[in-house]
A and B are shown apart, each in its own frame.
Chain A
C-alpha cells in the first residue's frame, strides 16, 4: 500500500534562506511522486513531479526535489526563500493503476522578512 509522510506541519525560514520540506513515501510499486502548493483560499497547483525519468526534478518558482530510493524520500528544496513562497505544500504519491493520489498532511511554510 502507498503512503506519504511529511515531517513538520510548520516550517519557518528567513527570506533568502534555504527552504527544505521533507517527504517520505511508502510504495509497493515504483512510485510516481508529486509536490503541490496551495496559496490561501486557492486550489492546489502542481510544483513538480517525479516519474522515474530523472532523480533530480526541477519545478516552477525555483523549487526542485530529489528522489532517493534508498531513503524513500522526495524532499523539496529551494536555495533562497522569497516572501511569495509562503503557502502550504503537499507531497503526494499515486495510489495505484489510476490517477488517484494519496496526500501527506501538508507543511505550512512561513517566510520571515
Chain B
C-alpha cells in the first residue's frame, strides 16, 4: 500500500547544479501536484497536472520544470539550483480534479542548496 512515494528523502546541492525530484503514485490518480513548504509560509503550489501530458503552473513555478508522461509519475526538475530553493518539497495526488477531492501526500524531499 505505497500511496505517493517521493525520492530522495534528503538532498544537498551546490548552487547551479540541476536535479530531479521523483514522485510516483500507485493509485491511478489523475491529478498530481508539487508544493514547497517553508517555515511560516504553509505550502505553496509549484506545478500541477490533471492527467498524462497535461501540466500547468501554480503559485511559485519559477526555476522549476515538470512533465507528465505517465499517469503514475510526476517528476520535478530544478534546472539551476539557487539557495532560495532550499525547502521541503511535497508531491500530492487525488483521484479526480474535482474541488471536493482530498489530496494524498508523500513524505517529502528535504532539499538544501549551498
Interface residue ranges, A against B (CB under 8 Å):
9, 32, 34, 36, 41-46, 49, 51, 90, 94-106
Residues of A within 8 A of B103 (CB): 46, 99, 101
Q: How large is the interface on B (under 10, 10 to 19, 20 to 34, 35 or more residues)?
A: 20 to 34
Q: Please name 11 pairs of A and B residues whose Cβ atoms are closer than 8 Å in the assembled complex, sorted by A.
A: A32-B100, A41-B108, A42-B107, A96-B99, A98-B50, A98-B99, A99-B101, A99-B103, A100-B58, A101-B43, A103-B44
Residues of A within 8 A of B33 (CB): 99-100
Q: In the complex, are the beta carbons of B42 and A90 less than 8 A apart?
A: yes
Check: B2 CB closer than 8 A to any chain A CB: no
Residues of A within 8 A of B41 (CB): 105
Residues of A within 8 A of B100 (CB): 32, 49, 51, 94
Answer whether A45 and B105 are a contact pair too, CB < 8 Å, given A94-B100, A99-B31, A99-B99.
Answer: yes
Interface residue ranges, B against A (CB under 8 Å):
4, 31, 33, 35, 40-45, 48, 50, 58, 90, 92, 94, 96-108
Q: In the complex, are the beta carbons of A44 and B99 less than 8 A apart?
A: no
Residues of A within 8 A of B107 (CB): 41-43
User: Across the A-B interface, how many residue pairs have beta carbons closer than 8 Å?
Assistant: 68
Q: In the complex, are the beta carbons of A49 and B90 less than 8 A apart?
A: no
Q: In the complex, are the beta carbons of B105 and A99 less than 8 A apart?
A: no
Known: A44-B43, A45-B105, A97-B97. 11 other contacts (CB 8 A): A32-B100, A41-B108, A43-B4, A43-B106, A98-B31, A98-B50, A99-B94, A99-B98, A100-B33, A100-B45, A101-B43
